[in-house]
Amino acid sequence: MPALYLLGPAFVAAIAYVDPGNVAANVSAGSQFGFLLLWVIVVANVMAGLVQYLSAKLGLVTGTTLPEAIAARSGTAARIGFWAQAELVAVATDLAEVVGGALALYLLFGLPLLAGGVVTGAVSLLLLVVQDRRGQRTFERVISGLLLVIAIGFLSSLFVDPPAPADMASGLVPRFDGLESILLAAAILGATVMPHAVYLHSGLVIDRHGRFEPGPKRTRLLAATRWDVVLAMLIAGAVNIAMLLVAATHLQGRPDTDSIEGAYAAVRDSLGPTVALLFAVGLLASGLASSSIGAYAGAMIMDGMLKVSVPLLVRRFVTLLPAIVVLALHVDPSRALVLSQVALSFGIPFAVLPLIRLTSDRALMGDDVNHRISTVLGWLVAIVISVLNLVLVYQTFAG
């Protein structure tokens, strides 16, 4: 295994895979369909690991971020179109993360949702200031610490009352059960293969490592990056699986458990106040950390595609505003979280397809061009997600 000091960027990107949108999608899937969609989380996590590594490899080999690489090969209209959809993805991301943080503050302290959204936005801004003032390594340590809090918060319940192995095994058989299960599968994919994290990872490795010319140092760094991605996605995958397993074991069949508030109450009744407290703390850490990552990604996307840098405070306010509006209008927060993840899933092909094309270009990547198997798997990821979204749209309007 590579030296530990080379690890870190993937753990920052992995926060996107355990954000409040994941909580809402996984809890809804487990409470409504039991273990049925466990296989979706496993497949989505493998997909995410592949695309995150390819994004990091693009940054390390070329010294350019994915948005910059897309912009360099696009005309003005295409570049603006790419930026527009990526910005919508960033807004949907922020919606999930701020609403999730507000829910956690409500569960922990009884803070009104609107006030909780403002607090979440403010704290995420402070985390970005840490990155700006103290550097990438300090930011990685802070975010990795929050990832540990998230993992403890959501994994603790499995040790108190683990599900039956046979039930878990049954959830690994690929299948659906009606339109709502497809909707939740799309939400899980949107919450796991996160478009903004795909864009972001290429920039994270540049900020941390820079660009290396071909040779032993770059080979070692690429190997370290593979380990970085594998370890980070193992943690994120375990957390996501834990969410669904807890919901399937303790929430299925109970009334009002298709929301985070209902899930919290059911966990408290079933597993006790301590586990429920850890659940809420994990949700809070998830909202705070992932909101800062979403804003970080949005700024990098705008800079890479439009060559426009917006002051951090302005950027934070603009992406925070839709979430604040949702909270002020008293929209069901848990439903808003799930739908935001469905919206994210529609942005995935726009990030993944160019990434596969770029990393398969030998003129750009040299000897580090994708292996043929990686290219085939990458295209398969994009096709599966696109087909699932088309089926979802068809069934929604046909019904």
pLDDT in tens, 342-354: 777 778 888 889 9
User: Tokens in use for 293?
Assistant: 């990552």
3-398 folds as Amino acid/polyamine transporter I (1.20.1740)
Q: Mean per-residue pLDDT for 196-210?
A: 88
For residue 255, pLDDT beyond 80 = no
Q: Is there a contact between 51 and 381 (Cβ–Cβ < 8 Å)?
A: yes
Per-residue confidence band for 395, with pLDDT thresholds at 50, 70 and 90: low
Between residues 373 and 396, which one has the greater pLDDT?
373
* Averaged pLDDT of the chain: 85
End-to-end CA separation in angstroms for the chain: 52
Please write the tens of the pLDDT for every residue from 290-299.
888 888 888 8
User: Tokens in use for 96?
Assistant: 């999930």
Per-residue confidence band for 134, with pLDDT thresholds at 50, 70 and 90: confident
For residue 391, pLDDT beyond 80 = no
Task: Taking the CA atoms of 62, 234, 275 and 252 in sequence, report the sign of the dihedral they define.
Answer: positive
What pLDDT does 5 receive? 56
Which residue spans within the chain are E strands per DSSP? none
| Cβ count near 115 (within 10 Å) | 14
Helix axes 113-134 and 273-306, enclosed angle (nearest 10): 60
CA-wise closest residue to 205 among 7, 4, 3, 1: 7
Per-residue confidence band for 257, with pLDDT thresholds at 50, 70 and 90: low
Q: Mean per-residue pLDDT for 60-84?
A: 92
Neighbouring residues of 77: CB distance < 8 A, sequence distance ≥ 6: none
For residue 318, pLDDT beyond 90 = no
Per-residue confidence band for 397, with pLDDT thresholds at 50, 70 and 90: low
Distances (CA, A) of 287 to 18, 31, 47, 54, 150: 9, 21, 23, 26, 10
Output the CA torsion 37→40→41→42 (10° steps).
120
Q: Is there a contact between 62 and 364 (Cβ–Cβ < 8 Å)?
A: yes
Q: What percent of the chain has pLDDT over 90?
A: 29
| Distance in angstroms (rounded) separating the CA atoms of residues 383 and 394 | 16
